[in-house]
Amino acid sequence: MMTAEEYEESLRRLNLNVYMFGERVENVVDNPIIRPSMKAVAATYELANRPEHEDIMTATSHVTGKKINRFTHIHQSIDDLVKKSKMGRLLGAYTGCCFQRCVGMDTLNALSMTTYDIDAKYGTDYNKRFIEYLKYVQEKDLVCCGAMTDPKGDRSLRPHQQKDPDLYVRVVEERADGIVVRGAKVHQTGAVNSHEIIVMPTITMREEDKDYAISFALPSDAKGITYVIGRQSCDTRKLEQGDIDRGNIYFGGLEALVIFDDVFVPWERVFMYKEYDFSGQLVEQFASYHRQSYSCKVGLGDVLIGAAQTIAEYNGVDRASHIKDKIIEMNHLNETLYCGAIACASEGHREPSGTYYVNTLLANVHKQNVTRFPFEIARLAQDIAGGLMVTLPSERDFRSSDIGKWMDKYYKGRSDIPTEYRIRMLRLIENMTLGTAAVGYLTESMHGAGSPQAQRIMISRQVNLKQKQRLAKKLCGIVEE
């Protein structure tokens, strides 16, 4: 397994084509806006090499028998699924942001099942290709970016009906040695911090959309791939002197638009090719795994609750009954989220491929709660913090030789707490609920792994209403002919 330092060096060897603010980024690793997101990924390597986290952060490969980072593991038991949920909470609390490797892990596990099932029906060799690719990922301890979401254009139209056919990733040419693809994937978390890009369909495809029913893997610096970094609120604060106004001074998340401009994919890296009847299965299996992955938001919630309790103490209001009650409510909501993550893992089962799969109903219920509870936790944190969170002057004002003394004087809370401590904690709450980290905590909670309606559709499909009706009728004496 790689160390955090080796991971950083591995990124330096890549030749990524990255744009931000209209200009090409020559040094992705050291760019001050991108680097905090890289450090968050590096934390997944750092903790995997710590003995106290070995049980949660590492696993034994079922294909090689070697010790591997859990992010490259294919779940082999209920215990693996539970540890995945625990790993998400651990890293969320450690980084206070999105650590960007869950999508790749969930993609690998979904493909391990779908490729097996395609082969069983059509006699193809996708699963064999996938296993060889998996060995490569595990041996090199690589970060994989799972790429599912297409731009989609006019949502009322199918992929083949779009005026611009490239609004969904598609095959544009078939060769003896592989295929050529064109299109783009949006909202790609951690894409520029990844070694590999694994593409999947974004929706269930029909026969007329079979050119879009494809899944494949590419090195992240393959010829023809371009990345455009997405903007985040307060992102340019990372360019300023000092670190207070950044809130989270160590870590951050980052998304990108990934453009595939006639990119060649060799056959050995193609895992689905026009088997449109399996596209829905791959989408559903990936989505269920990824909805389980939102145990990470519990870890972020741990940080935000800690920040709220601390600022209440710094403000001298921590003993007020209404503050205590709000902290209790924040913990109640956060632990309820954790219950969902553990439940869908504990109720998982073994698929024909041998991979263990989460309980789909409970995974979707868990993610539905994630679309709501973090927003209430954030609201309560802002309530406790007070309006100063968004009206603070800059760090430069606090450091000013002219007015710094007044900043220290008038922004002090409790007399025994340094003003800087209070300011730092307020900036962290701002960062997590309004700033760059709000993307990883709130926006991802709403739209990551599918927006709320996607989970509600899955819940409606998975719940057995007829059985519930039978239970009710039996107990009140209704006997139908």
DSSP per-residue string spanning 225-292? EEEEEPP-TTGGGGGSSSSGGGSSSS----EEEEEEEEEEEEGGGEEEES-GGGHHHHHHHHHHHHHH
| pLDDT value of position 137 | 98
| pLDDT value of position 462 | 95
Q: Give percent of the chain above pLDDT 90.
A: 97
Q: How confident is the model at residue 54 (pLDDT cuts 50, 70, 90)?
A: very high
Catalytic residue check, 189: yes
Mean pLDDT over 169-179 rounds to 98
Mean pLDDT over 403-407 rounds to 97
| pLDDT value of position 326 | 98
| pLDDT value of position 314 | 98
Residue for token digits 């596990």? 109
Sign of the four-CA dihedral 347, 82, 437, 71: negative
Domains of the chain: which residue ranges?
A: 291-467
How far, in Å, CA of 397 to CA of 406, rounded? 9
Amino acid making up residue 211: D
Catalytic residue check, 195: no
The residue from 62, 72, 95, 102 that is catalytic is 102
| pLDDT value of position 205 | 97
Catalytic residue check, 289: no
Q: How confident is the model at residue 55 (pLDDT cuts 50, 70, 90)?
A: very high
Residue for token digits 């600022």? 311
Q: What is the pLDDT of residues 144-169, one digit of tens each?
A: 999 999 999 999 999 999 999 999 99
| pLDDT value of position 344 | 98
Catalytic residue check, 339: no
The residue from 75, 187, 195, 290 that is catalytic is 290
Q: What share of the chain is helix, strand, coil (3-state, %, to 5)?
A: 55, 15, 30
Q: What is the pLDDT of residues 30-51, one digit of tens each?
A: 999 999 999 999 999 999 999 9
Q: How confident is the model at residue 196 (pLDDT cuts 50, 70, 90)?
A: very high
Q: Are 395 and 245 in contact (CB under 8 A)?
A: yes
Mean pLDDT of the chain: 97
Catalytic residue check, 255: yes
Catalytic residue check, 54: no
Catalytic residue check, 145: no
The residue from 98, 144, 145, 344 that is catalytic is 98
Instruction: Read off φ and ψ for residue 277, nearest 5 degrees.
Output: -70, -10
| pLDDT value of position 437 | 85
How far, in Å, CA of 401 to CA of 338, rounded? 47
436 has a pLDDT exceeding 90:
no
| pLDDT value of position 384 | 98
Looking only at the bridges linking them, the beta strands covering 214-219 and 196-199 are: antiparallel
Which fold does the domain 291-467 belong to in CATH? Butyryl-CoA Dehydrogenase, subunit A; domain 3 (1.20.140)
The residue from 58, 95, 115, 189 that is catalytic is 189
| pLDDT value of position 95 | 97
Catalytic residue check, 294: yes
The residue from 46, 395, 430, 444 that is catalytic is 444
Q: How confident is the model at residue 438 (pLDDT cuts 50, 70, 90)?
A: confident
| pLDDT value of position 430 | 96
pTM: 0.96
Q: How confident is the model at residue 289 (pLDDT cuts 50, 70, 90)?
A: very high
Mean pLDDT over 344-372 rounds to 97
The residue from 289, 294, 356, 441 that is catalytic is 294
Give the tokens for residue 124. Answer: 């193809």
Mean pLDDT over 394-401 rounds to 97
Q: How many CB atoms lie within 10 A of CB 382?
A: 19
DSSP state of 314: H
Give the tokens for residue 109. Answer: 């596990």
How far, in Å, CA of 170 to CA of 167, rounded? 9
| pLDDT value of position 481 | 78
The residue from 46, 196, 255, 275 that is catalytic is 255
174 has a pLDDT exceeding 90:
yes
